Chain A
Amino acid sequence: REDRGRSPQRDFHILFVPRRSLLCEQWLKEQGVLGSFIHREQYSLDLIPFDGDLLSMESESAFKECYLESDQTSLYHAAKGLMTLQALYGTIPQIFGKGDCARHVANMMIRMKREFPGSQNSIFPVFDTLLLLDRNVDLLTPLATQLTYEGLIDEIYGIQNTYVKLPPEKFAPKKQGEGGKDLPTEPKKLQLNSAEELYAEIRDKNFNAVGSVLSKKAKIISAAFEERHHAKTVGEIKQFVSQLPHMQAARSSLANHTSIAELIKDITTSEDFFDNLTVEQEFMSGIDTDKVNNYIEDCIAQKHPLIKILRLVCLQSVCNSGLKQKVLDHYKREILQTYGYEHILTLNNLEKAGLLKPQTSGRNNYPTIRKTLRLWMDDVNEQNPNDISYVYSGYAPLSVRLAQLLARPGWRSIEEVLKMLPGPHFEERQQLPTGLQKKRQHGENRVTLVFFLGGVTYAEIAALRFLSQMEDGGTEYVIATTKLINGTTWIKSLMEKLEPTPF
C-alpha cells in the first residue's frame, strides 16, 4: 500500500508459484491490497527436474499437511504432476504402492485418466513401473545421519535447490607469497549436480571412500598437467592447449571438493559426531531401545540443539515401535524443562505423525521387520559396496529395500512384513493401446519411477542409484518426491512455530 502511494505509475503484478492459493488471496484482500494487483496468475510448476534422474515438487509442507492435518491437496498436485509426466513420457502400465497416500494418488490418477480419455497418447512408454511410497511407511530412514558425501553436505550445510553455501575460509584463492590476505567473508556458493564430472563420481559414495578417489584424481590431474613438459612438437602443444580448459575445470573441481571433504572430515572425526552415530547405530541394530539412553540425557543436560535431541528420541521410538510410557514421559519432562514448556506443541505434533509415541500394542515389530528385510548388515563394505546398506554404514534404508524386493522377487515374498507397515499395499494396471506394449529385450533394463510421498533423502537416492548400476540388477530407477529432505529439515517442518505470526 505504501509502495503504491509512492509510485502511482507503477503496476503491481503477482505471480503465484507453483500455484495460487485461496488463503493467500484472502489475506491480501483483508489487507485491502488485493485490488492493487493488476494481474494475478499462477505459474504451475508441479514436478521440477533436479537432475537427470531426480524430480521434486519442493513442497515443504506436504508431509505435515498429509499426516498431521489430513489435507491431501499436495497429493492432488502430485497426481497432476504424474499425469503431465505420462503425457510426455507415456502411460505407465504398472502402478505399485504402499501407504494411504499412495492409494489416494493412484486412485486420482486412474480417475483423471478416465475423465480425459482424449489424453490417450501414442507415446512409447518410458517407464515400466511406478512405485508410490508413503513417507510414513519408513519413518526411520530420514532420522538417521546420512553418510554419503552428498548426504553429509546436506546434513551439515544444507543443499538448497542444488546450491550449497559453505564457510569461505578454505576457498580463498591461494596466491604465492601473499600471506595473511583478507579472507572473504561471504559464504562460498557452489552448485552441485551431475554436470560436474567429479561430483557425479563421488556424490553417492560413502564418505569414507571419497578420500581415495580424490587422491587418485589428484595424481591423474597432476600427471596431465605435467604433459606440457613432454609436448615437443607444435601439434602436441596444440593438443595440450586445447585440452587445457577441461583440465583447469577438473582441477578447480578437485580443489573445491577437497576443501569440502576437509570441512566434512572435521565434523565426522569429532567426538560428538562419533558418539551420536554410535547411539544411532545401536538403536537401528535393536540394542537397548526400551530404556532411557544415557547419551541422549547427557545431550539434553548440555543443552545440545533441540532438533538433534528430537531426531534421537524419535529414532529410538521408531526402532521400538513406540516408547514405554515411563521412558516417553521421562524424555518429555527433561525436554520441556530444559528447552521450555511451549514445546509441548511440537511433541504433540511428533506424536501425531507417529514419530514419538507411546507403545500401544505392547509388542515391538521392528526386530521382525529388521530381520526379514535385512535392514542391518554387519559386514558392510564402504569402499566397494555390494549392498545398499553402505549409505548408512550398516543400515539399509527400508524404503529402498521395499523397492529392491519389489523388482525381485516381488512383494508376495514379504506379505507378512508388509502388513506390519502402515497403509495398504496394492497393484494397478493401466491399459496401453495395442502396439505400444513393449517387450523388453533380453538384457534391457526395466525403468521404475519411485515416488516418495512426503520426502526423500539423498542417501536413499544414492541407494537407488546403486541398485540401478548393479550389473544384473535388471531395473533402473528414476526418483520423484514431494521434497528433498534430511532429518533436520524434516523435523523442523513438524515443529510448531513459536514466534507470534507476523500477520
Chain B
Amino acid sequence: MNRARGDEEEYWHSSKFRAFTFDDEDDELSQLKESKRAVNSLRDIVDDDDDDLERVSWSGEPVGSISWSIKETASGSTSSLEGRDSSLQKGSSSYAALPKQVSSYSLSSLFKGRNKLPSFQSLSDALTDTGVKNYAPELRRPKAEYKDYSSDWSPKDTVRRMQRGKVCSLERFRSLQDKLVLLDEAVAGHDGNVITAVLIFLKRTLRREILFRELEVRQVALCHLIHFLRETGEQKLLLDLLRFLDRTEEVALSQYREHLNIQDVEKRREFLKGCIGLPFSAEDTSHIQDHYTLLERQIIIEANDRHLEMAGQSELFRKYPRKASILNMPLVTTLFYSCFYHYTEAEGTFSSPTNLKKTFKIPDKQYVLTALAARAKLRAWDDVDALLTTKNWLGYTKKKAPIGFHRVVEMLQRNNAPVQVLQEYVRLVEDVETRLNLATKYKCHDVVIETYRDLKDRIQLTAYKSKVERGSAEEEKINSILNN
C-alpha cells in the first residue's frame, strides 16, 4: 500500500504549504491576504504533477490524488474526527457539519491562511515542528487521537467551532437535553448558518412532535426553520409546522402559493378549488374564490374560442387573430378580451362582458374604461358613443365619461379615429386650453372656431383662418362669425 514512501516524505517536508491545524484563531484579515497571495500563486500549483503521490488507500485510489479526494468528499467524511471506521458508513455522517474538509488537499490548504497565533498545535506538529508543517497530518494521526478529540467539545464550543466554519460532528449529542442545549447555544451565537445546521440535525434526529413543541418556545430557531423549509420547498413539513402553531392564515397562504408550481390548467383549477375552504381572512377568501371562478371561466372560453378560431367561420377571429391564450390572465385583461371578441353576447353566456361584470362585481368605471379601450381598438365608433352616452330619467341623453374627455380623445386618436368622431369628444373637453390644444393638434376645425367664438377672441379667430383650406366650409363659417 505504501510505496516509495521515502520520496514522498521528502515531498511533504519540502512543501511550502501550511498544514491544517485545529486553530481557534481566525484572523480574517490575514486570511484575505493569504488567499490573495495564494490565488496569485495558483498557477504554479495547478500545473503540479500529482504523479509524485503514489500512496494508495485501502480503496485502491492513490492517496492524496484528486479522485481519492473526491471520493472522500462524496462520502461526506467529515468523520475524520470520529475515526476512520465511520467513514465506511456512507450515509451516517452528519451533514450538518460544515464540510470544510479536514482532508486538506493541495488546493484547499492554499486558502487556509492561518497560523498567525496558533494557540493549539496538533500532537504531531508539536513533535515535528521545524517551522515547515506537515502537509496532511490527519493521515498520520493515530485513531485514538481522533476519539479523544471529538468528545471534548461541549455544545458551546461546538457552536463556536461551527461559527468558524470548522468541521463538527453533532452525532454525539444524543439526548434531548444535549440537543436542546446545543440549539440554544447556536441561537445565542446568532450565526444563521450554524443555527440552520443544528436545525437540520435536529430535524433528522428528533420526532416531529417533540421538535415542534420545543421550537414553539424558541422563536428565533422557529423562524429559521420556517425560512429553511420555505427555501428547500419542504412544503408538507412546513404546513404541518404552521398548523401546529395555529398560524392558520399562513397555512392558507403557503398552500395557495403552491398553485404557481402547477402548470397544467385543469390541475391548477382543481387545486384552487381546494384552496377556497382554507382559513384566509374574509377579504382574501373572496379573492381566492374569484381566482378559481375566473380560471374556470377562462378554461371554458379558451376551449370555445380555440374551436371557433380553428373552424375559421368567425370573421372577427380571422381579422384579429388571438395573440395569446386567455388562461391565467388577470380579470381586467379577460374583460378586455371579452369586450373585444364577445361584445354583443347576451348576459347568459360565460364569455359575455356583462356576465363577467356581474359575476365579479366589476365597478362601472372600470367596466366602461375597458370596454372603451376594446371597442376603440376595433374602431367601433358607435359602440364607443353608446358607452359614453347615458340617459337620465327624463329620457334626455348626456355624454359622460369616467375619465376626462381629453383622455378619451387620446385613446381614440391612438386608434386612428376619424376627425368627425374625435371632434365630438374634443368638444366635450372641459378645460378650454386643453380643448384648444387638442382641437388644433387633431385639426378639429369646427371646435376651434366655436371655442374662439365663445371666447369672443377675434384675433385668434382671424389668425386661425390661415389654417383652414381656402373656400372650405370652415372658412365660410369663420367669415360669417367675424362679420357679425
Contacts and interface: CB of A to CB of B under 8 A. Distances in A.
Given A69-B227, A344-B287, A84 B28 contact: yes
B86 interface: no
Contacts of B233: 501, 503
Contacts of B331: 336-338, 341
Nearest to B366: A301
B330 interface: yes
Interface stretch (A13-21, A145-153, A198-206): A13-21
B172 interface: no
Interface residues of A, number: 60
B200 A76 contact: no
B196 A38 contact: no
A21 B193 contact: yes
Interface string A322-341: 00000001001110111111
Nearest to A503: B233
Interface stretch (A28-36, A404-412, A419-427): A28-36
Interface string A62-104: 0001000111111110010000100110000000000000000
Binding site secondary structure of chain A: helix
B87 interface: no
Contacts of A298: 403
Best-surrounded residue of B100, B192, B253, B260 (most CB of chain A within 10 A): B192
B172 to A, nearest CB: 20
A34 B260 CA distance: 29
Interface stretch (B11-19, B105-113, B139-147, B450-458): B105-113
Contact of A71 (B75, B227, B283, B362): B227
A138 B31 CA distance: 37
A19 to B, nearest CB: 7
Nearest to A497: B260
B55 interface: no
B174 to A, nearest CB: 22
A236 B71 CA distance: 73
Best-surrounded residue of A36, A301, A329 (most CB of chain B within 10 A): A301
Interface string A2-17: 0000000001010000
A264 B369 CA distance: 32
Contacts of A26: 95, 200, 232
Contact of B107 (A38, A88, A301, A338): A38
A73 B259 CA distance: 30
Contacts of A76: 190-192
Contacts of A75: 190
B223 interface: yes
B366 A337 contact: yes
A71 B107 CA distance: 34
B9 to A, nearest CB: 24
Contact of B100 (A13, A37, A41, A345): A41
A466 B397 CA distance: 61
Contacts of A332: 283, 287
A341 to B, nearest CB: 4
B362 A337 contact: yes
A344 B256 contact: yes
Contacts of A329: 283
Interface string B123-161: 000000000000000000000000000000000000000
Nearest to B281: A348
Interface in A137-184: none
B74 A341 contact: no
Contacts of B290: 336, 341
Contacts of B231: 23
A74 B192 CA distance: 8
Interface in B30-77: 31-32, 35, 46, 66, 69-71, 73-76
B330 A340 contact: yes
A275 interface: no
A44 B283 contact: no
B226 interface: yes
B200 A344 contact: no
Given A42-B165, A337-B362, A37 B73 contact: yes
A41 B111 contact: yes
A108 interface: yes
Given A341-B288, A341-B291, A38 B257 contact: no
Contacts of A342: 259-260, 291
A274 interface: no
Given A35-B74, A69-B223, A301-B366, A84 B291 contact: no
B196 A70 contact: no
Interface residues of B, number: 68
B374 interface: no
A73 B193 contact: yes
A41 B111 CA distance: 8
A36 B99 contact: no
Contacts, number: 148
A133 B266 CA distance: 49
Nearest to B263: A500
B107 A13 contact: yes
Contacts of A72: 190, 192, 220
A22 interface: yes
Contact of A500 (B196, B223, B224, B260): B260
Interface string A341-369: 11011001000000000000000000000
B173 interface: no
Interface string B358-381: 001010011001000000000000
Nearest to A70: B223
A40 B99 contact: yes
A303 interface: yes
Interface in B438-470: none
B197 interface: yes
Nearest to B190: A76
Contact of A69 (B28, B226, B328, B403): B226
A20 B232 contact: no
Contacts of B347: none
B284 interface: yes
B483 interface: no
A387 interface: no
Contacts of B107: 11, 13, 38-39
A38 B165 contact: no
A9 to B, nearest CB: 9
Nearest to B193: A22
Contacts of B101: 39-40
Contact of A344 (B111, B192, B284, B360): B284
A499 B108 contact: no
A21 B95 CA distance: 13
Contact of A338 (B76, B95, B165, B332): B332
B364 to A, nearest CB: 12
A234 interface: no
Nearest to B370: A301
A345 B73 contact: no
Nearest to A68: B227
A472 B70 CA distance: 64
B224 A71 contact: yes
B105 A20 contact: no
Interface string A42-54: 1110000000000
Contacts of A39: 101, 105, 107-108, 111
15 contacts: A11-B66, A11-B107, A23-B196, A23-B232, A25-B98, A38-B108, A39-B105, A40-B101, A70-B223, A72-B220, A76-B191, A336-B290, A337-B331, A337-B366, A341-B330
Interface of A: 11, 13, 19-23, 25-27, 29, 34-44, 65, 69-76, 79, 84, 87-88, 108, 297-298, 301, 303, 329, 332-334, 336-342, 344-345, 348, 496, 498-501, 503
Instruction: Across the A-B interface, give the 5 residue pairs with the lowest CB-CB distance, nearest first.
Output: A73-B192, A35-B74, A341-B291, A70-B223, A340-B330
Given A73-B191, A73-B192, A341-B331, 17 more contacts: A11-B46, A20-B193, A22-B193, A22-B197, A38-B73, A38-B108, A39-B107, A41-B100, A43-B35, A73-B193, A75-B190, A84-B29, A301-B369, A337-B331, A341-B288, A342-B260, A345-B256
